[in-house]
Each structure stands twice: as structure tokens, then as C-alpha cells.
Amino acid sequence: VSIGIEAYLDVFEGGKLNIMGDGISLKRALFNTKESNEVLMLEYGEALDVQMDFQANVDVEFMMVVLVIFDKELKPICNVFSDKYTVKKEEQYQIHMRTEDMMFSPGTYSASVGFRKYDDKGVCTERLTVIENLLDFKVIGGQHLITPAGVHRHGSWRLENVNTSVNEVNEKEGHE
């Protein structure tokens, strides 16, 4: 029991970021225009907007980003996957994700993000960087929903190379 309480406090009571891997360096993360170190309050049904500024420390032909959301019992309840993108070493990028159809029951949640490398067949071959405890947020209002864990949703993602003078934008709409 004490281990579970300690894990909960690490995540939801001001726990520090846990960063594993060095393939990607996260420079800044905004959630609904708030810094990731602030607790975000969402109204039931409100869209979640994510913006992350990062630097690629390796060349990756097929990279995918996943936002994993945990409930207060530390169970993963939702994964939001990006499309696959190509990133180049030492280049700066900004990635945006918006999802409007994630209906969480009122309560407390935590989010982590993973940057993964894939092969041309869509198989994950390496975890470039995983950042745990990136965001805490609370959902207020609405109804309590009974939904199974492991709900997967695609958001709308856009990757921009911020090093080019003519901004190359690779924009793809997510789908279920």
C-alpha cells in the first residue's frame, strides 16, 4: 500500500518529470496555452490542445508521438497517437495536437508523452524519449462515464520545422 501511495503522490502531488532516453529534447510544452508545470482545469467535454517544442538529437525517418493519459489509480486510460513524421538531427520542431472527442469522467488525470521510432512496416523499433508526469489535469462538471481502459483516439497533429525560412508544414488529420 505504501508503494502505491508513494507512486500516486509522485505523479499527482507535484512529482517531478521523469525523462528516459535522449533521442528528443523537449524544450517547451503547452496544454490549452498553460505551461506543463501548471495544473490544467478542463470543463467536461472541453478540447485538449497540446503544443510541444522539441529538438531531434538523431535522424529519424519514421517518428511517432503518443500522449498517454492515466487516471488517478495510475491506469493508462487513453493513448493519443500522431501520424508518422520524419525529423532530422539538431533541427527544431513544434508539434500540435488537438482532440475534441475525449470525454473523461470528472476527476484527476496525468499525462506522459513518448517519442518513438518506427520501421517502414509500422513496427516500433526504439523509444527515443519518454517523459512521464508531463501534465496533471482535472476534469470538472459533466457526468461520470463508465468506459473501459485502453481507449485509443487519434488527434489532429501538425509538425513544423522551425529552422527553415520557408516553413515546411506537414499536416495530417487524425482518424479513428
Cβ-contact 23, 58 below 8 angstroms: yes
Bigger pLDDT: 154 or 35?
35
Query: Residue range 23-50: average pLDDT?
Result: 86
Smallest Cα–Cα separation from 18: which of 108, 109, 134, 110? 134
Confidence of residue 96 (pLDDT cuts 50, 70, 90): very high
Query: Residue range 151-159: average pLDDT?
Result: 70
d(CA 119, CA 90): 21
**Residue 91 cell numbers, joined:** 533541427
Burial class (CB within 10 angstroms; exposed 0-12, middle 13-18, buried 19+) of 51: middle
Whether 176 has a pLDDT exceeding 50, the answer reads no
Q: Model's pTM, two decimal places?
A: 0.74
